[in-house]
A = this chain, B = another copy of it.
């Protein structure tokens, strides 16, 4: 197993960090690794906001579904899908009556952002710096727009917290679905009832005994979380608001 495969396998989503600032040298390596990521048409349709201000971290720990550990991270990186710079440059090139951008630009810039972000995650891992993705950055669109000064043609695609791994930490790995339920040959394969039961067997066996929805199966638990939990409803609303600028075409 080479060092890259090792890093991929060793990583955990880290929510507890050493109380030690990430060195400038390490942070530069992480950011440069992000920038080296593949990008559609070499356009780099993203920006990275590097946050170490305590007030902003505190605020994000609240707006991102109340997760206090967020503010304890040494650094937070937000990867913004960003077509604003391009639009602004089109104006610099004297293009008049610029047409609205479309969902192609939105999705390519989202993809660019995530690809760059995962490079940052693995570069960090190689420096003993742990990370955690915070999908909740896609909630509260208007509040984040104000907080981070975001122009219209941007959308916060991904956020990661970064901090050194605690010394001698025992890493706990969460199970993944079996490859047979994730990887299909040549075409998509719709799983039948028996295969689905097999796929979710471990999840059912290990589901928490008490849960806010008072349901008995893992499927019902996730269904309720997806369709009734406040953060899910808010994320749906927030994304629809955020992509408005990209659906005017």
Contact = CB atoms under 8 A, between A and B. Distances in A.
A41 B149 CA distance: 29
A63 interface: no
Nearest to A176: B35
A239 interface: yes
A169 interface: no
* This chain: copies in complex: 2
Interface residues on chain A, size class: 35 or more
Given A44-B177, A50-B185, A183-B50, A123 B85 contact: no
A69 interface: no
B114 A199 contact: no
A80 B3 contact: no
A232 B104 contact: yes
Contact of A3 (B2, B86, B98, B127): B2
Interface string A19-43: 0000000000101110111101111
Contacts of A17: none
Nearest 5 interchain pairs by C-beta:
A93-B219, A102-B236, A114-B114, A104-B235, A4-B126
